Amino acid sequence: MILVTGGAGFIGTNFILDWLALHDEPILNIDKLTYAGNRDNLRSIEGDDRHVFEQGDIADARWVMGLLEKHQPRAIINFAAESHVDRSIHCAENFVQTNIVGVFRLLEAARAYWSGLHGDKRAGFRFLQVSTDEVYGSLAPAAAAFRETDRYEPNSPYSASKAAADHLVRASHRTHGLPVLTTNCANNYGPYQFPEKLIPLMINRAIAGQPLPVYGDGWQVRDWLYVKDHCKAVRLVLEAGLPGETYNVGCSDERHNIDVVKAICVLLDELHPRIDAVTYMNQITHVADRPGHDTRYAIDPGKIKVELGWHAEKNFEDGLRETIRWYLQNQGWVADVQNRSVAAR
């Protein structure tokens, strides 16, 4: 069995669904079920004995330790995180509590559990921290893409909290020998993403006839990674990554935010045209830029390609089309998660 934290969130959901489609090995899924965690994401595997769900907080080390002793997982994959930059700007405390304190306590529970293992079980245990490219800061337009050896220079409370977590993971390996792995990924998109992130936000505001707010001039650059390609990378790192190593995961597919929004509009004009036949691009509006907005992110995936044989299978155009189709076909899911988010405030 493996233990997955945050498995009712966006990336965690996709990871679990893909894992159980490919493996018979069961998963223990622990999730706090905050506004972005949704058990309905996993309705298709309801009743599957390979999926064990427990609601709780990774910051509760005693509770986590009890689960580790009961289920004896061979690995922990930590997807649990507060992840929306805008929310971190307005209220950073939740990010500190989950992304720093929570990861520290999860590491402590993992270390205590691992210390009690013997032989092959001890040698084979892994703790995989799923992190972000944002810890590296902002790139100049002509600068080389982020590599694993680049210095951390986080610029938002969110990225600072993820950077702190990554440092704690590294320290657990260097100080205590805990066999850890870290992945730093590009911007993910795909099914089940909470509609506060750029792509689902624009899809759902567009079809609701609302303005499509673009920060500043929209010339911020991001590297886009289809979520299932990311999940494949995590599986490979868990299987063959070297303890103590970091692997950057990206598609080398950089796009300006405004171009992403326009691409969404073009596809919606085709797949879900407005009743008045006017293009969705008319709904684009420019708003004041986000404080401390990073100019550019780009990931160099050379290491994971060479060492583990990973490569992205989905290009952005195909991935975006699939993503838009999913949201159009799952408007009930969108309404439900938005209503639960409002109720939780």
Catalytic residues, by residue number, are 133-134, 158
Report the half-sphere exposure of 215 (CA within 13 A, side-chain side): 16
Our CA dihedral for 269, 275, 281, 285, rounded to 10 degrees, sits at: -150
The residues near 166 (Cβ < 8 Å, ≥ 6 apart) are 129, 131, 135, 152, 182, 184
The answer to whether the CB of 134 falls within 8 A of the CB of 292 is no
Q: How many CA atoms lie within 13 A of 108 on its CB side?
A: 12
Inter-residue contact 54 to 28 (CB < 8 Å): yes
Interatomic CA distance for residues 38 and 34, integer angstroms: 8
Please name every residue paired with 187 in a beta bridge, in sequence order, or none if there are none. Answer: 224
Structure-token pair, residue 67: 């689960």
CA torsion 224→225→227→229, rounded to 10°? Answer: 170
What is the CA 109 to chain-centroid distance, rounded?
Answer: 23
Sequence-distant (≥ 6) Cβ neighbours of residue 181 within 8 angstroms: 126, 127, 128, 129, 237, 238, 241, 242, 243, 244, 245, 246, 247
Q: Which of 343, 341, 298 is nearest to 204 (CA)?
A: 341
For residue 228, the tally of other CB atoms under 10 A from its CB is 21
